[in-house]
Structure 1
Amino acid sequence: MADGRRESELAGAGSDAAGPSSTPWDRVPRTARRACPALLVYGVATLLHLVILTAMIPPGGPSLRDRLLAWDGLRYTQIASNGYPHGLTDDPAGSNLAFFPLFPLLARAVHAVTGLDYGMAVIVTANLAFAAALVICDLLLTRLYGRRTALIAVVLLATAQPMAVVFGMGYSEALFLALAAGSLLAAHRNAWLTAGTLGLLAGLTRPAAVAVVAALAVAVVPYVVRSRPFAWRPVAAVALACCGMPLYLWWVGRRAGRPDAWFVLQRSGWNTYWDYGRSFIGFLGLTLTRGDGWVAVSAAVLLLGLLTATALTWRRDTWPPLLVYGVGILVTALGQSSYYHCKLRLVITAVLFVVPLARALSRASLGTNALVLSTGALFGCWYGAYMLTAWHYGI
């Protein structure tokens, strides 16, 4: 980690002023130049996802737009256009009140500014958030591990994860990742109130924001212990970050007429509740001993692979808040009773498990990098496209 910081400092040591022999590129602000590699990854990853997804849509099947708005995308489109319902519902498909508000609110703003229909506004919002998330992850991982490792990790994050296609769909994962990574980046820079505000917004995006709060707390404690006089901004950051999710749960309770309404809706609509990982362990045992469906077997193997990669990050040079955040995302995804075919989507914002492979590849040859990254990208894009076009259940 120290080597990564040193690399970043050396890379930024030069003056931004344009000298006599400067090129037009040299006159581009350094912040914009730093964003370019991640934005290039976004462009290539999005193109690859769309090409493979389009090729796998059967003739006469749902359009590409329909696929990008499938499942939760339709929910967010309904919320953006019509708002939330009142009261509890007996609908076995679940209530839109279970979906957190920031993403559909931003989609509504995109609709108002651009005039796009609500469905397209949801897709555009997700893709803007996806681009921002890759830039922020690149900046964060550059501070921790250096530019080469960060760029490789961003490529893995955007393409090689089995359900990375979701980042470009009408889902809230991309926005959550942008806010979570932004909160961690701000904390690493000791910009505490920014970190807390972004943590609050993450809490208004997905319930997995508990991992962001835990990571911020881990970042704050040693800083406050060392500070003389007492530093109030870090403590305020954690307090801010703690407000997002409870605020929405309180609002849902008021809207539906009972304080535990959100949890009731999760259980009645999706049979999702906290079970300390019992359903996940049962799924692994059954699938790896008697399972005959390849989607279930592949999900089990891939999730075990992600857990193994996460275990490899338990080392002294891993920044503790990143470790807590990544493990927290895995715990919230695997510790609840959600459907097994959704779990690979629920963990794509963890970031942590791509770090060991990225660090290994940063020391490998260019040819090895090209082979591993291209193979991983093709597999990840194909897997996500298959789950959207051939798999019959929600992702």
Structure 2
Amino acid sequence: MDVAAEDGRDERTSPGSLPVTDGRRVPTGPERTDPTTTDPTTTDRPTRSGPLRALALAWPALLGYAAVRAVGLVVLGIWAEARGLSFDALLTDRYDSRWYLQIATLGYDRAENLHSNMAFFPLYPGLVAFFGDSWAMDLRQAAITVSWVAALAAAWGLFAIGNHLQDRRTGVLLAVLWGVVPHAVVENLAYTEAIFTAFAAWALYAVLTERWLTAGVLCLIGGLTRPTASSLVAVVGLAALVALIRRRGPWWRPLVAMLLAPLGWLAFVAWVADRTGRADGWFLIQGKGWNSSFDGGAFTWSRTGDVLDHPSRLAHYLVVLVLLTALTLFVLSIMDRQPWPLLLYSGLLLVTTIGAAGYYHSKGRFLLPAFALLLPVAGALAGARRGRAYPVLILLTAISAYCGGYLMLVWTSSP
């Protein structure tokens, strides 16, 4: 996803200068210089020199991300074989994956009962159907291909943000860390977390670099991926409004972005309303059909107390760990003075995840798109002496690989 500049402004950083982001200068210091290169322009925005230059900068992030996810998948494959289970079926035939493949095969139902597949947004199953029908692959292969390509696109977007805000090494580590979180196995399943994260990362990168048309288009498409895209819509829309008020650059670009941002999300909700004959059709299906509603966090607080006060499954302890870690990282993100669009995006995802009633075991998965929360960790590892990050990443890779196997082979519900 190349987000080339729209207004032709010169955004180059002279050697030794401080990069400007969100209206403030971010200190980098000598320790932020990537020791693998002597070219002072390697921390420039990667898309300034075109796709090939961007790929040349990002390849360590893509390779590192692919490597840690390969370890997780190999462990899962060996574990599955020991249990006599099909590795391919694990990736495409579990819970939400079945619903997406059903939509790709048969389309949406008529909501004869409220447990309807119209709870699921259309972009991912639509892409699966397109590639499954038009290319030399079946639907299962298409589902995995879309997810894996989207995961690499997401890792690239994470690198772009980390490189833009701090330096190349931080961008690489941010992408790799996203691949070793406890629920990272979902990034390789026939689920929508990977594709939404890809659109969110590049849309937010476009916001940070003031490429408003790109941000609006990416947010529009991302709004068709999953319900939590509402967090991205709010951030892109508000950032465009702020830019419009401040009159920075051509005024019509942020205006168009602000108008485009919510269209994908609203279009699907409106389509469901028309199909069900009720203005609140999608919300009714989501609430009464799928037992998913917003209660401000009462359910999450109650279930967390139960988990900590009674013997529980590892999956529930993982959720507690992820939620507490996410809240801590959000505080650190505030202390690090992250650009407000990233803070707002992370905060809204935390609110929608913690505030939602139901599906406690999936809350760790719901936070996978909250990648900006990993920036404090990526920055700390990038600032450490060379070589010290490797033992940490190896440990996290091993833990993530086990958690992925556990969630797919031991845990009996959706990851």
Question: In structure 2, what is the Cα distance between the partners aligned to 1:103 and 1:255?
Answer: 20
How far 1:167 sits from its partner (Å)?
0.7
How far 1:60 sits from its partner (Å)?
5.0
- Which residue matches 1:78? 102
Q: 3-state DSSP class of the match of 1:366?
A: coil
- Which residue matches 2:41? 11
67-76 or 285-294: bigger deviation: 285-294
Question: In structure 1, what is the Cα distance between the partners aligned to 2:387 and 2:43?
Answer: 30
* Aligned amino acid, residue 69 of structure 2: T
The reply to whether residue 129 of structure 1 matches residue 150 of structure 2 is: yes
* Aligned amino acid, residue 102 of structure 2: Q
- Which residue matches 1:384? 404
Question: In structure 2, what is the Cα distance between the partners aligned to 1:168 and 1:29?
Answer: 26
The 8 Å contact of residues 37 and 151 in structure 1, kept in 2 or not, is answered as yes
How far 1:355 sits from its partner (Å)?
1.2
Q: Could you list the per-position Cα deviations for residues 41-88 of structure 1 after superposition, in whole angstroms to 9, with x for gaps in the alignment?
A: 232133112111112226454311111011111111111121111233
Question: In structure 2, what is the Cα distance between the partners aligned to 1:292 and 1:73?
Answer: 26
* Aligned amino acid, residue 57 of structure 2: R
The 8 Å contact of residues 136 and 182 in structure 1, kept in 2 or not, is answered as yes
Q: 3-state DSSP class of the match of 1:204?
A: coil
Structure 2 residue corresponding to 1:150, chosen from 144, 168, 171: 171
Aligned pairs for 1:181-260 within 5 A: 181-227=201-247, 231-260=251-280
- CA RMSD, Structure 1 to Structure 2 (Å): 2.4
Q: 3-state DSSP class of the match of 1:207?
A: coil
- Which residue matches 2:366? 346
- Which residue matches 2:335? 315
The reply to whether residue 33 of structure 1 matches residue 33 of structure 2 is: no
TM-score by length of 1: 0.89
Q: 3-state DSSP class of the match of 2:412?
A: coil
Q: Could you list the per-position Cα deviations for residues 171-204 of structure 1 after superposition, in whole angstroms to 9, with x for gaps in the alignment?
A: 0111101111111111122111110111111111
Question: In structure 2, what is the Cα distance between the partners aligned to 1:181 and 1:298?
Answer: 25
* Aligned amino acid, residue 216 of structure 1: V
Structure 2 residue corresponding to 1:336, chosen from 356, 359, 363: 356
How far 1:125 sits from its partner (Å)?
0.5
Q: 3-state DSSP class of the match of 1:200?
A: helix
TM-score by length of 2: 0.85
The reply to whether residue 113 of structure 1 matches residue 143 of structure 2 is: no
- Which residue matches 2:87? 64
- Which residue matches 1:264? 284
* Aligned amino acid, residue 189 of structure 1: T
The 8 Å contact of residues 91 and 144 in structure 2, kept in 1 or not, is answered as yes
- Which residue matches 1:280? 300
Distance 1:321 1:4, change over 3 A: farther
Question: In structure 1, what is the Cα distance between the partners aligned to 2:262 and 2:43?
Answer: 37
Structure 1 residue corresponding to 2:73, chosen from 50, 53, 58: 50
How far 1:222 sits from its partner (Å)?
3.8
How far 1:295 sits from its partner (Å)?
2.8
* Aligned amino acid, residue 48 of structure 1: V
Question: In structure 2, what is the Cα distance between the partners aligned to 1:339 and 1:229?
Answer: 44
Distance 1:240 1:272, change over 3 A: same
- Which residue matches 1:141? 162
Question: In structure 2, what is the Cα distance between the partners aligned to 1:385 and 1:207?
Answer: 27
Question: In structure 2, what is the Cα distance between the partners aligned to 1:236 and 1:7?
Answer: 37
How far 1:221 sits from its partner (Å)?
4.0
Question: In structure 1, what is the Cα distance between the partners aligned to 2:374 and 2:245?
Answer: 31
The 8 Å contact of residues 81 and 87 in structure 2, kept in 1 or not, is answered as no
Gaps of at least 5 residues in structure 2 are 1-24
The 8 Å contact of residues 133 and 177 in structure 1, kept in 2 or not, is answered as yes
More helix, by proportion: 1
The 8 Å contact of residues 336 and 376 in structure 2, kept in 1 or not, is answered as no
How far 1:219 sits from its partner (Å)?
2.5
- Which residue matches 2:111? 87
The reply to whether residue 101 of structure 1 matches residue 154 of structure 2 is: no
